[in-house]
Amino acid sequence: SQTIHQWPATLVQPVGSPLSLECTVEGTSNPNLYWYRQAAGRGLQLLFYSVGIGQISSEVPQNLSASRPQDRQFILSSKKLLLSDSGFYLCAWSGDMARSGRSYEQYFGPGTRLTVT
Amino acid sequence: AQRVTQPEKLLSVFKGAPVELKCNYSYSGSPELFWYVQYSRQRLQLLLRHISRESIKGFTADLNKGETSFHLKKPFAQEEDSAMYYCALSGVNSGGYQKVTFGTGTKLQVIP
């Protein structure tokens, strides 16, 4: 069966420090991968999505970047964190619609709570 | 552009009362719509999708293309239904890839 992992679960970082959040998927190949930020009252905001290794699309201009060095690994990074980067970050995966022509449900990880101080 | 609107941030109902969580969407093509649910201390997970036309945990949702709505309904609310509910739309972006847009969510609170 497929599983999705995220770490760390919680992180407290000072302003100006770098960030690296990791997401890995097991039990499937060539998944679509997504990074979301979940904020109270603002719902789920799509930050990045990836349809393959090295293929990253950004939805919102910001202080963050994403990379996909391996098929089932998705990393969210920042060189210098801002206070506004605090939030709950979710990674998700889905099947590849481009191959099947149908939309797949998304499977979410447990999330990372980031607090920038 | 695709957009999902959930007008209610919080919906409180008494146990046994009917529930309707509203969702409206904007999309130029043929959309696929989903409802996701997040119970306390659990992961966000799929509740149902319009293509399946199924009832999950007593919830149903009908896609109304004329009104561009996909409201989630349940005739009799249970305490265990208390959770955060997100409506989501899946469409194809300009690059031919699936793009999913979520609404801002509605917190359902069922009062005993």
Q: Which of A106, A112, A113 should one mutate to test binding to chain B, selecting the residue with the greatest count of B CBs within 10 A?
A: A106
Mean pLDDT across chain A: 90
Find the mean pLDDT for residues A79-94: 94
- Residues of chain A that touch chain B, judged by Cβ-Cβ distance less than 8 Å: 32, 34, 36, 41-44, 46, 49, 51, 57, 90, 92, 94, 97-98, 102-111
* Band (B98; pLDDT cuts 50, 70, 90): confident
Residue A116, pLDDT > 80, answer yes
What does the H/E/C string look like for chain B? CCEEECCCCEEEEECCCCEEECCEEECCCCCEEEEEEECCCCCCEEEEECCCCCCECCEEECCECCCCECCEEECCCCHHHCEEEEEEEEEECCCCCEEEEECCCEEEEEEC
**Which of B93 and B68 is assigned the larger pLDDT?**
B68
- Residues of chain B that touch chain A, judged by Cβ-Cβ distance less than 8 Å: 6, 9, 32, 34, 36, 43-46, 49, 86, 88, 90, 92, 95-105
